[in-house]
Amino acid sequence: MNAQNINAPSAYFMAEVSEKLETHTLSVLVDNEPGVLARVIGLFSGRGYNIDSLTVSETEHEKHLSRITIVTTGTPQVIEQIRHQLERLVPVHRVIDLTVEAHRNNQDKPLERELALVKVAGTGEKRLEALRLADAFRATVIDATTEHFVFEITGRTNKVEQFISIMGPLGLIEVSRTGVAALQRGGKAL
Amino acid sequence: MKREMTGAEMVLQALKDHGVQHVFGYPGGAVLPIYDEIIQQDDITHILVRHEQGAGHAAEGYARSTGKPGVVLVTSGPGATNMVTALTDAMLDSIPLVCITGQVPTHLIGNDAFQECDTVGITRPCTKHNWLVRRIEDLPRVLHEAFYVATSGRPGPVVVDIPKDIQFATGEYEGPNNIAHKTYRPRLKGDMSAIRQAVELIASARRPVLYTGGGVINSGPAASQLLREFVELTGIPITSTLMGLGAYPASGKSWLGMLGMHGTYEANMAMHDCDVMIAIGARFDDRITGRLDAFSPGSRRIHIDIDPSSINKTVPVDLPIIGDVAHVLEDMVRIWRSSSLKIDQSAMKAWTGQIDTWRARNSLAYRPSEDFIMPQYAIQRLYEHTKSRNTIITTEVGQHQMWAAQFYGFEAPNRWLTSGGLGTMGYGMPAAIGAQVANPDALVIDIAGDASILMNIQEMSTATQYGLPVKVFILNNQYMGMVRQWQQLLHGNRLSHSYTESLPDFVKLAEAYGWHGIAVDKPADLDDAIEEMLASPKAVIFDCRVANLANCFPMIPSGKAHNEMLLPDEANDEAVAKAISKEGKALV
Ligand SMILES: Cc1ncc(C[n+]2csc(CCOP(=O)(O)OP(=O)(O)O)c2C)c(N)n1
């Protein structure tokens, strides 16, 4: 999004930042009140942070709690800033950097899944090939005519992306994705 | 105890319950029910401004001079949008404001109704938090939360947007006692082991410096007191940002003067060469750090701040302490006293000796004149005539603001009210009005520029209406001086639109508003004229005609480091023209 801003934390910063960019998944527990998503998104756009993926839904109805899952890219310093800036928002209960938590437990990544609906139109050999590949990816057909399929696929982001790119030449006409939902591995809640 | 009342009554009741005595506001259709309550009671005084921005800055002046939240009441649409600059100003300088806006009735929201605007949408990025109240049942809780959020943790502005039908609706009101906020609970006490480590690190320092900011003022008078005690105990030299002036007295023996772009040479060099830096309630803003990659290269840094997002934002620190300044300093002072820790005295002697050689460069020097009033001289004289009084200084934005910061000595907190973060021209006069309302016996002076003062000139009428004897001391150089200075530094002295054409006759203007007007252009007349201003029971405009082309030095040119300051004795035309590199020109 605003990747170039990441390198300029201040107007005075002239030198190139050589720190490596990292991708982190943040889980943000918020009060489900009007405008809370706008606050979070406004924070990211206003301060020039990246949003690679964002999902939100009410998760604890009685407590009016929603969970926002954000995948973002930045230097470690910027990612720490993002966490603190999110914590500063009044309706935010907690911010958990799931990537940091996973690393702390010697894991590569937290559990992450996304779902995509993929519409492929065509006939003949391409149509058959699409169906065969869908099977290999464990995508299921949720709608079809003799001219099209809609596949539902669930998995890690790179699996979903791979599937979509393979469908490209096979008649892909439309995609809808949920963005990433994520949890920490293991038997404990955060 | 619960009581039935209308939404408008709830607003007034909540203000009373939170100890509010003054509200700055401007009426309009969407707040008429609240205005109808205001006129039927005596506990709260409403100050009618002439423009909503003026209400916002007046409330800021009120808040900064008292430490209490400033309260504003404005109508929907243009009333709310006129508040945006003041809200942003309060946001950047962490000033507690509670702004109540009227809104079109709930059933019209979203219809582009007359004087409808998306107030919570517009003010979301420039408030600490905001609420649109859609149900009367929510109103008491939201009003109490508004005061809580504005004043706790790092203070800031909040907006409560109340549709007109909610102001008429009736519901049950409950006082603020039983309200605990669900999520927002800022941490006040610092982590004790971090504080102990900090004390040990300070004791091991050979070249320590204290770098303090507005957070010390915001924490309250106890913080300034503890800061003074800590400096007394340790002997550490201390500098401050623009926002923190007065927390440590300018007459104190450890005082280095302000740091940053127009700070003193000794303050900036001490920051550059220190081995332990103790940042307290300051945020490493770009006006302070200069070139980041050359910022204080050899120091270990302690950072005390109530806002975790201030830590490591631009400058990495070694030892962060999250907490309220007064709480943390109290622990530090106690630990220091009860330990036998002491900074190596010979190292300190060498360090203060080094600082004295920097001080001897006399970085605030200027060439005096008998023909023209030098702006620096005018501030010095103003200081001499007012220092023994209970004086509050506000400013506009520009060179005069920096000269005021450099040449007026602040001895106490909450006596210096200036727009630091946003740099809002037009801030000073309404802020002075707000400060005068809160401090009727104080001498309140707005040190102004000829361009800035015109930005909220209408507020003269407010001062007249309420008999507020504020003094507006204009350093009139007939330029937007700071813009002119930058054009000289950056753009080959091509003075594009920075000459203030067609200025009014300020003396006549004063008279037109029922003020007293004074104009001076000879250094020899200055002292008597200042006395005339101070003797007047009225509000006064003092048109001080100063040297037109004076520049504000010393200066860290954009893109340069603390040890690359441009000093007044080196700043000839050629040095000024070459001071900023090509890359530096892109910076603000
Ligand atoms: C609202 C606003 N608009 C523009 C600016 C940019 N600006 C900064 S200083 C300045 C000139 C101020 O001139 P004056 O008030 O005469 O003060 P001087 O610098 O001459 O002391 C301007 C235009 C600003 N800070 N605020």
The predicted model scores a pTM of: 0.94
Three-state secondary-structure class, residue B245:
coil
**A34 contact residues in B (CB cutoff 8 A):** 132
* pLDDT class of A18 with cuts at 50, 70, 90: low
Identify the bridge partners of residue A172 per DSSP, sorted by sequence position.
A120
Residue A186 has pLDDT above 50, yes or no: yes
* pLDDT class of A132 with cuts at 50, 70, 90: very high
B541 DSSP 8-state letter: E
Token code pair at residue B406: 């450099």
User: Which residue reads 């006395």 in tokens?
Assistant: B531
**B312 contact residues in A (CB cutoff 8 A):** 77, 80-81
- Percent of chain B's residues with pLDDT above 90: 93
- Looking at residue B384, what is its pLDDT? 98
The verdict on whether omega for the bond into residue B554 sits within 30 degrees of 0, i.e. cis, is yes
**Distance separating alpha carbons of residues B234 and B333, to the nearest angstrom:** 10
- Looking at residue A12, what is its pLDDT? 40
**Distance separating alpha carbons of residues A185 and B108, to the nearest angstrom:** 48
B472 DSSP 8-state letter: E
**Distance separating alpha carbons of residues B343 and B206, to the nearest angstrom:** 7
* pLDDT class of B438 with cuts at 50, 70, 90: very high
Q: With CA atoms as reference, report the closest residue to B562 among B267, B323, B252.
A: B267
DSSP for B201-214?
A: HHHT-SSEEEEE-H
**Distance separating alpha carbons of residues B229 and B476, to the nearest angstrom:** 40
> Helices in B360-441 by DSSP H: which ranges?
375-386, 399-407, 428-438
**With respect to CATH, is domain A18-104 assigned 3.40.50.300?**
no
**Distance separating alpha carbons of residues A143 and A149, to the nearest angstrom:** 6
- Residue B120 neighbours by CB under 8 Å, 6+ apart: A35, B130, B131, B132, B159, B161
Ligand 1 pocket mutation pick from B483, B495, B552, B555 by most atoms within 8 angstroms of CB: B483
pLDDT (average), residues B511-532? 98
User: Which residue reads 């930005």 in tokens?
Assistant: B455
β-strand B22-25 against A181-183: which pairing, if any? unpaired
β-strand B391-395 against B45-48: which pairing, if any? unpaired
DSSP for B169-211?
A: -EEEEE-GGG---SS-----SPPHHHHHHHHHHHHT-SSEEEE
Asked if B584 and B558 touch (Cβ cutoff 8 Å), the reply is: yes
**Distance separating alpha carbons of residues B99 and B76, to the nearest angstrom:** 12
- Looking at residue A15, what is its pLDDT? 47
- Looking at residue B575, what is its pLDDT? 81
Q: B436, exposed or middle or buried, with CB in 10 Å at 0-12, 13-18, 19+?
A: buried
Give the residue range(s) of CATH 3.40.50.970 domains in chain B.
2-174, 375-545
Q: Which CATH architecture has domain A111-183?
A: 2-Layer Sandwich (3.30)
Q: Report the run of H or E that residue B508 belongs to, with start and end.
A: helix B506-512
- ipTM of this complex prediction, to 2 decimal places: 0.90
> Helices in B19-81 by DSSP H: which ranges?
32-38, 52-66, 78-81
**Distance separating alpha carbons of residues B105 and A123, to the nearest angstrom:** 57
Q: Is B449 in the pocket of ligand 1 (CB under 6 A)?
A: yes
Q: Is B425 in the pocket of ligand 1 (CB under 6 A)?
A: yes
Q: Report the run of H or E that residue B230 belongs to, with start and end.
A: helix B221-234
- Looking at residue B182, what is its pLDDT? 82
- Looking at residue B583, what is its pLDDT? 76
In chain B, helix, strand, coil percent, each to 5?
45, 20, 40
CB contact under 8 Å between B121 and A38, yes or no, is yes
Looking at the domain covering B2-174, what would its CATH class be? alpha beta
Ligand 1 mean position, distance from CA B478 (Å): 12
- Looking at residue A1, what is its pLDDT? 35
- Looking at residue A5, what is its pLDDT? 37
B538-570 per-position pLDDT tens digit: 999 999 999 999 999 999 988 899 999 999 988
**A7 contact residues in B (CB cutoff 8 A):** none
**Distance separating alpha carbons of residues B399 and B452, to the nearest angstrom:** 11
Is B164 catalytic? The answer is yes
- Looking at residue A162, what is its pLDDT? 97
Q: What angle do CA B381, B386, B390 make, to 5 degrees?
A: 160
**Distance separating alpha carbons of residues B456 and B49, to the nearest angstrom:** 11
pLDDT (average), residues B193-200? 97
Phi-psi region of B204 (alpha: psi -120 to 50; beta: other; left: phi over 0): alpha
Count of CB atoms within 10 A of residue A47's CB? 15
CB contact under 8 Å between A12 and B184, yes or no, is no
Asked if B557 and B564 touch (Cβ cutoff 8 Å), the reply is: yes
Is B482 catalytic? The answer is yes
Q: Which CATH architecture has domain B192-359?
A: 3-Layer(aba) Sandwich (3.40)
Which atom of ligand 1 is closest in space to residue B482's alpha carbon?
19
B251-308 per-position pLDDT tens digit: 999 999 999 999 999 999 999 999 999 999 999 999 999 999 999 999 999 999 999 9
Is B583 catalytic? The answer is no
**Distance separating alpha carbons of residues B363 and B80, to the nearest angstrom:** 44
- Percent of chain A's residues with pLDDT above 70: 91
Q: Where are the domains of chain A?
A: 18-104, 111-183
How confident is the prediction for chain B on average, in pLDDT? 96
Q: Among all residues of chain B, which has the CA nearest to that of A42? A: B125
Residue B334 has pLDDT above 70, yes or no: yes
CB contact under 8 Å between B128 and A14, yes or no, is no
B80-133 per-position pLDDT tens digit: 999 999 999 999 999 999 999 999 999 999 999 999 999 999 999 999 999 999
Q: What angle do CA B285, B288, B294 make, to 5 degrees?
A: 100
CB contact under 8 Å between B558 and A42, yes or no, is no
CATH of region B375-545, choose from 3.30.70.20, 3.40.630.30, 3.40.50.970, 3.40.50.300: 3.40.50.970
Ligand 1 mean position, distance from CA B233 (Å): 41
B149-179 per-position pLDDT tens digit: 999 999 999 999 999 999 999 999 999 986 7
Ligand 1 mean position, distance from CA B397 (Å): 5
CA dihedral sign, ordered B305, B311, B317, B320: positive
Q: What angle do CA B261, B263, B266 make, to 5 degrees?
A: 125
User: Which residue reads 């937290």 in tokens?
Assistant: A110
- Looking at residue A17, what is its pLDDT? 55
